[in-house]
Amino acid sequence: MTKWVYSFGGGLNEGGADMRNLLGGKGANLAEMASIGLPVPPGFTITTEVCSAYYENGNSYPTDLAEQVAAALHRIEHAVGLTFGDSKAPLLVSVRSGARVSMPGMMDTVLNLGLNDETVEGLAKSSNDERFAWDSYRRFIQMYGSVVMGVPHHRFEDILEQAKHALGVTDDTAVKANDWREIVESYKEIVLKETGKPFPADPQEQLWGAISAVFGSWMNPRANTYRKLHDIPASWGTAVNVQAMVFGNMGNDCATGVCFTRDPSTGENIFYGEYLVNAQGEDVVAGIRTPQPMSAERATPDQSPMEKVLPNAYQELMRVREILEKHYRDMQDIEFTVQNNKLYMLQTRSGKRTAAAALKIAIDMAREGLITQEEAIGRVPPASLDQLLHPTLDPKAEKNLFARGLPASPGAAAGAIVFSAEEVEEYAAQGKDAILVRIETSPEDVHGMHAARGVLTTRGGMTSHAAVVARGMGRVCVAGAGSIHVDYKAQTMTVGSTTLKGGEWITLDGGTGAVYVGKVPTIPPTLSGDFSTLMGWADEVRRLRVRANAETPDDAETARRFGAEGIGLSRTEHMFFGPDRIGHVRQMIMADDPTTRKKAIDALLPFQRDDFASIFRIMSGLPVTIRLLDPPLHEFLPHGEAELEEVAKALGQSVDALRARRSALSEANPMLGHRGCRLGISYPEIYAMQVRAIIEAAILVSKETGEAIIPEIMIPLVGMKTELDVTRKVAENEIAAVFKEQNTTLDYLIGTMIELPRAAITADQIAQSADFFSFGTNDLTQTTLGLSRDDAGSFLPYYVDHGLLPKDPFVSIDREGVGALVRMGVEGGRRTKAKLKLGVCGEHGGDPDSIAFFESVGLDYVSCSPFRVPVARLAAAQAALAHKKKEAATS
Ligand code: ADP
Ligand code: MG
Ligand code: MG
């Protein structure tokens, strides 16, 4: 015989916290609380298996269910000494849904079930409180009528409001027994009118009606939608809990409340919550009366904290709070009721909390000895650290919403509205704060984005250029705020009838996507205290090193401050866009003979050397990987006529000749075009110059600081060993020349990106010519899936929404495809060189899920944007712990 029903409370606990799959979260924890001796009204749980069986058998129950329910109900009757349906002293129950994970959309709880015209009189007599009995009855009809029978909620509300109006009272508690009697009559009439059926008087019919409504709600549209959005399989099913009622509405020594064992927004170890005297169930959250605080410490003089009003029950609750935290070893979110000064526990679960609270609670609990340091590391979701690393809007400040876009890069920033990158730089040069507002951004805007406090675009998604670059830089970004109309010419942006002009201030909240008019005050992040403690603990257990992707001194400094252990990717081309360089870059590209080209290249050398020297200085003592020129040349080309003329003048060529060269350079598919090492092979002098700049800078800074600098020179987009051989030769020749000129030497590494499938497949060959590999998983994802990130916006979201892909492969690595190639590259590389240094750079290096994967394939380091360094440190620690646990389990 299958056991469909599990009892809890009243001396028999058949379930426990570890049975959440079978009993749902609520039922499992009610049994757990009862079994550790906490005061839980007795009840039983109908398992999630009944739900599955119910749907498999065409909405009918297992035949022996009724018998098991009857037996369990009998146990409740026995435990509390009352009988269900008894006209003198009736047992009343609540019927509560409860899935594995708490799920909106499920049926609301029905309280006071078992009341009818007869039993209500019994309850009035046995409680000696007529008002209470009728208050309970009207609540029951209202709840059952709406959630089980489908009568619109406001029908009941209207009746109650009219009645209160007629009586001249505002508070429910002021309504007297006789008035409730009349209201109950009107309620029953409205049920009959709305449903064509009388309100059921038979308690058994009521009970099964409510149970069926819970199971029925599992498949309602709201629940279905929620499940789809959260990847919850329909097969999980919901459980139903039937529990003896306790009453918080029986007078002024009664109450109901919800609270957290610690403050869920700050994490402070203080009892946090609300309660209401003489109230029932959801009154606290329903906003019928103003709930009061729990602790006297948190109360204002005009409030009535539970600590003062119901001191005995409060002390009991404090005791329970401690027991619960010790037992569950986590902050709990609890629901309770006080009946005649006696406390009853009705729910516990681990409480939702902000990132700040998660951090504080984890550290505090480890210090209190409730959990270990390793557990504390696991208690903070790495991605949530983002919230802690950026200034945030002062929650108390007044705000005037202008528009909403996507929360593309977190933090808060305020500044003047500025519509071009150049103008932003002018603002920055004068020390003024600016927000760059563009319809969308392109590589040319990168300098302006860097100089801006934040970036706002009206087009593009979470992986648009603006979003990716802003995240990389740690700039606040709201992307795709489509309701804003930007007019570059008029220098205005408009939503509806509100128009803001260039120079006026706005504030961006990159955490929510909100754009506010004017300057909203912010509060700064704190990187000390608990944050640095947790980071320290994480660093003790992680194996993966964490480096940063950075090219500007600013970014390198941020990276170091956040604990980066080197630079894993420095993109030299980002330096090409500086206003003092781009002219030379353009001349280099447009030159039609080697001599002119050489002149332009030589002009660039000192700039590049300075760039590298300043990074080496900041990262002194740590490895720095510099990638040689990667993007296709036309990204740097002059756009407008004026720019074209400028370059023509500098080169002494005609504008027409340049125009011809520009169109010759344009490509149908630049991502797969003339870029990466292909450029270094066509124009070896460009790579030679970059290598020279790197080596000269390294020698310079080594001498300056007395610390050895070991530059790591990285060749991009290698697909074959031969490509690496050719470019390596160019680099080595140039390095030898520098050494000879300066009569010195220096250790260096020359390695390659693995970012093409062919490179991963032939990694064993490529390793013969490489000192290290860095997996470029952005390009590897594009080339493995054969899709371009810039064009994927039109179909990729659909793929993710409809489960064709589990996640956006640019955010979290596609383990089965791209991941398999990474694994192949690791194995191939290490077959040739057992100690080959292996890392990853690109967006995945800062994604916790991807980091877990990189841990499992044994990479040496991940490299991510500076602001993700702490995220990566924590994720790497969690991955190492999970890996250790798995090893221990299999050995
Ligand atoms: P939810 O899942 O929406 O929180 P619950 O099943 O927890 O719904 O019920 C909501 C509230 O109803 C509880 O917090 C509690 O105040 C009240 N409640 C539920 N069952 C009982 C009961 N047996 N006795 C008294 N109050 C109850
Ligand atoms: Mg609840
Ligand atoms: Mg690449």
Residues 6+ apart with CB under 8 A from 529: none
**Substitution candidate for ligand 1 out of 96, 115, 211, 344 with most atoms within 8 A of CB:** 96
Q: What is the pTM of this model?
A: 0.82
DSSP 800-811: HHTTSSSS-TTT
Q: Is 243 in the pocket of ligand 1 (CB under 6 A)?
A: yes
Q: Check residue 757 and give its pLDDT.
A: 98
Positive or negative, the Cα torsion across 546, 883, 377, 809?
Answer: positive
Q: Which pLDDT score, from 0 to 100, does residue 463 have? A: 64
- Give the model's pLDDT for residue 144: 96
- Residue whose CB lies within 8 A of the most ligand 1 atoms, among 102, 113, 337, for a mutation test: 337
Is residue 96 within 6 Å of ligand 1 at its C-beta? yes
* Gap from CA of 603 to ligand 3 centroid (Å): 26
Which ligand is located closest to the Cα atom of residue 42?
1
Closest ligand 1 atom to 43 CA: 23
Residues of the chain with pLDDT under 70: 285-288, 462-463, 526
Pocket probe for ligand 1: among 346, 348, 349, 352, the residue whose CB has the most ligand atoms within 8 Å is 346
457 CB within 6 A, ligand 1:
no
Ligand 1, from 97, 335, 338, 340: best to mutate by most atoms within 8 Å of Cβ? 335
* Ligand nearest to the Cα of 246, by number: 1
95 Cα: distance to centroid of ligand 1 (angstroms): 9
Is ligand 1 within 6 A of the CB of residue 41? yes
The DSSP result for 105-140, as a single string, is TSPPPEEEET--HHHHHHHHHHHT-HHHHHHHHHHH
What six digits make up the tokens of 288?
A: 């019928």
Q: In angstroms, what CA-CA distances link 764 with 119, 369, 569, 761, 827?
A: 82, 49, 23, 8, 8
pLDDT in tens, 515-537: 999 999 988 776 778 999 999 99
Q: Identify the bridge partners of residue 437 per DSSP, sorted by sequence position.
A: 456
Contact 701, 616 (CB under 8 A): yes
94 lines ligand 1 (CB under 6 A): yes
261 lines ligand 1 (CB under 6 A): no
> Which residue's CA is minimally distant from atom 12 of ligand 1?
281
CA-nearest residue for atom 9, ligand 1, is: 109
- Between helix 655-665 and helix 641-651 the angle, nearest 10°, is 110
Count the Cβ atoms, other than its own, within 10 Å of residue 319. Answer: 12
What is the set of active-site residues?
Answer: 465, 841
DSSP letter for each residue of 776-833: EHHHHHHHHHT--TTTGGGTHHHHHHTTSSSS-TTTS--IIIIIHHHHHHHHHHHHH-
Q: Is 313 in the pocket of ligand 1 (CB under 6 A)?
A: no
Interval between CA 182 and ligand 3 midpoint (Å) = 75
Q: Is 680 in the pocket of ligand 1 (CB under 6 A)?
A: no
CA of 347 to the centre of ligand 2 (A): 6
pLDDT value of residue 208:
97
Tell how far the Cα of 547 is from the centroid of ligand 1, in angstroms.
Answer: 50
Q: Which atom of ligand 1 lies closest to the CA of 336? A: 16
- Is the distance from the beta carbon of residue 51 to the nearest atom of ligand 1 less than 6 Å? no
Nearest CA to ligand 1 atom 20: 94
> If you measure from the C-alpha of residue 267 to the centroid of ligand 1, how many angstroms do you get, rounded to a whole number?
25
Q: Which ligand is nearest to the CA of 714?
A: 3
- Give the pair of three-digit tokens for residue 183: 């209201």
For residue 110, list its beta bridge partners: 95
Residue 114 to residues 86, 258, 343, 345: CA-CA distances in angstroms?
A: 9, 25, 23, 21
Whether residue 29 has its Cβ less than 6 Å from ligand 1: no
Question: Which residue is closest in CA terms to ligand 1's atom 8?
Answer: 109
The Å distance, Cα 670 to ligand 3 centre, comes to 12
Q: What are phi and psi of 579, to 5 degrees?
A: -60, -30
CB of 249 closer than 6 angstroms to any ligand 1 atom: no
Ligand at minimal distance from the CA of 779 is: 3
Residue owning the nearest CA to atom 13 of ligand 1: 281
Distance 335 CA to ligand 2 centre (A): 6
- Which residue of 109, 217, 340 sits with most ligand 1 atoms within 8 Å of its CB, as the best mutation to test the pocket? 109
In the prediction, which pLDDT does 647 show?
A: 82
The angle formed by the CA atoms of residues 790, 407 and 568, to the nearest 5 degrees, is: 60
What H or E segment, with its residue span, contains residue 570? strand 567-571
Backbone angles phi, psi at 675, to 5 degrees: -150, 175
Task: Tell me the ligand closest to 114's alpha carbon.
Answer: 1
Whether 282 is in the pocket of ligand 1, judged by its Cβ within 6 Å, is yes
Assess whether the C-beta atom of 109 lies below 6 angstroms from ligand 1: yes
Structure confidence at residue 287 (pLDDT)? 61
* Cα of 735 from ligand 3 centre, angstroms: 24
Which protein residue's CA is at the shortest distance from atom 11 of ligand 1? 281
Q: How far is the CA of 29 from the centre of ligand 2 (A)?
A: 12
pLDDT for position 285: 66
Atom of ligand 1 nearest to the CA of 284: 16
Joined together, the tokens standing for residue 196 give 């064509």
Distance in Å, CA 334 to ligand 2 centroid = 8
Radius of gyration over every alpha carbon of the chain, rounded to an integer in angstroms = 34
Residue 298: per-residue pLDDT: 78
Q: By C-alpha distance, which of 677, 695, 675 is closest to 744?
A: 695
Nearest C-alpha to atom 26 of ligand 1 is from which residue?
Answer: 281
Q: Whose CA is nearest to atom 7 of ligand 1?
A: 347
Q: Which residue owns the Cα nearest ligand 1 atom 24? A: 245
